[in-house]
Amino acid sequence: MTAINKLKCNKNKGFSLVEMIVVIAIMIVLLSMLVPYVVGYIEKAARMSAINTARVMVNGMEVSMIEHAQEGSIYLNKVYTSEYYDNGKALPCGFLTNYMLYYAQTNYNYDKSKHDYADFLIAKDILEAVRSGPKETKPALKFTKTDRPLGANCKEYCKDGGTGAIFAYAPAGGVYYAQVCTNGWLVTYEHGNYDAQKVKSDTAFASKSKLNEKK
């Protein structure tokens, strides 16, 4: 057999079984190194998306509050307690949840004579802020109709992909406290700061010690 024929035979042999096993082993090692980075990047992106969504909602509410606070039409039915304000003194506040956002999102014909009609208008302004916000802050929010989120378990409250929300707002405008639970994350806003935690089996909304009925 000539040298040329031997070369052709060697080319037709392809990879041996040992060579294929070595290549596969190298690929497995590389993938095992890359997966944590990819998962971490995806989780970080999801966290930032949840925070940005909450930020747009809070900003939208504060803009809306400027108008309604001047009108004197807001309904102060809760008290908010935090060491950030007046040394823990209980402060009167308005209270808006996903319950009102659900009615605004479904274009419900809300009764204008109700004491909380201003909350309905504020909820519509919040939704408009989300719709007109940056592309990355426009997730498919589907607010749940379930009421009374205080102290509720987030997984149970936001099951079936629903979004839960709490907003405590000041009499003169501005947001004291907010929580938005969406896409597996609970974002908490207080005193200008945003924090997000991944929803676990025991993750819950703020308790009634934070926001209580006005006496």
Q: pLDDT truncated to tens, each residue of the chain (215 aa)?
A: 555 555 455 555 556 777 888 888 888 888 777 777 666 778 888 899 899 999 999 999 999 988 776 666 677 888 888 877 777 788 888 899 999 999 999 999 999 888 888 899 999 999 999 888 766 555 568 898 888 899 999 988 888 788 999 999 988 778 999 999 988 999 999 989 999 999 999 999 998 888 886 65
Residue 151 has what pLDDT? Answer: 92
Counting the structural domains of the chain, the total is 1
Taking the C-alpha atoms of residue 164 and residue 154, their distance in angstroms, rounded to an integer, is 8
Residue 57 has what pLDDT? Answer: 94
Would you say residue 132 lies in a domain? yes
Would you say residue 4 lies in a domain? no
164: left (phi over 0), alpha (psi -120 to 50) or beta: beta
E strand residue ranges, the chain: 78-80, 91-97, 164-169, 175-182, 185-190, 193-198, 211-213
User: ∠ CA 107-124-97 to the nearest 5 degrees?
Assistant: 100
Would you say residue 10 lies in a domain? no
Interval 146-162: pLDDT, tens: 888 999 999 888 887 88
* DSSP structural state of residue 137: G
pTM over cut 0.85: no
Residue 7 has what pLDDT? Answer: 46
Residue 15 has what pLDDT? Answer: 67
| Structural domain containing residue 90 | 33-213
Residue 13 has what pLDDT? Answer: 57
- Amino acid letter at 158? C
Residue 213 has what pLDDT? Answer: 67
Would you say residue 15 lies in a domain? no
Would you say residue 78 lies in a domain? yes
Answer whether 158's CB lies under 8 Å from 92's CB. Answer: no
Would you say residue 79 lies in a domain? yes
Residue 42 has what pLDDT? Answer: 81
Please give the backbone phi and psi of residue 89, each rounded to the nearest 5 degrees, phi first.
Answer: -70, 140
Residue 5 has what pLDDT? Answer: 52
